[in-house]
Amino acid sequence: MSCVVPVVDYEPPVLRAAPERAHLVRPRGAPAPRRPAPPTAQPAPLRAAAGFADAALRRVLEVIDRRRSLAQLRPLLAAGLVDSLLPAIARQEGRGAAQLRRLRIQPVGTDGSVAEVAATYSRDDRTHAIACRVEQVATPTGVRWQVVALHIG
């Protein structure tokens, strides 16, 4: 037997009047205010992390859709993450292909070697979330990016 419990309404009350707008006037001849840098102007390590995360998440979705083999994820994901995808692969039987839509990246720390990624993907008519943490790891062939945490919604 299931039970339905009402949830407290935390929404603010609806404003009936339009909020007043502040009019800021710049004196004639005064320089225009500086605008923040566009979002595409990212530091090089963050751009590299974003490129890696985009490719890795696309590959994860392709493996879940059975368009790629699970072995192709082993170089990109930390050791235990590859095996954790098996239940997700089993759940996607007979569904449409997933398409990565939007990706946001946030650096962790100041050295640029770790980043957290949040992304959305669509499957059929629904939008889902996927998130991961990428880190630079040292390997015998050099330093490379690797997904060390993954959450698929």
Q: Does domain 44-152 have CATH number 3.40.30?
A: no
CA-angle at 129, arms to 63 and 110, nearest 5°: 95
Per-residue buried b or exposed e for 44-67, using 16+ beta carbons within 10 Å of the residue's own CB: ebeebbbebbeebbbbbbbbbbee
pTM attached to this predicted model: 0.70
Q: Supply the mean pLDDT for the chain.
A: 82
Query: What is the pLDDT, as a whole number, of residue 38?
Result: 61
Residue 36 has pLDDT above 70, yes or no: no
Read off the tokens for 7. 């949830």
Region 26-48: mean pLDDT is 73
Q: Is 76 exposed, middle or buried (0-12, 13-18, 19+ CB in 10 A)?
A: buried
**Contact (CB, 8 A) for 108 and 101:** no
Q: What are phi and psi of 141, to 5 degrees?
A: -95, -5
Q: Average pLDDT for residues 61-81, to the nearest whole number?
A: 89
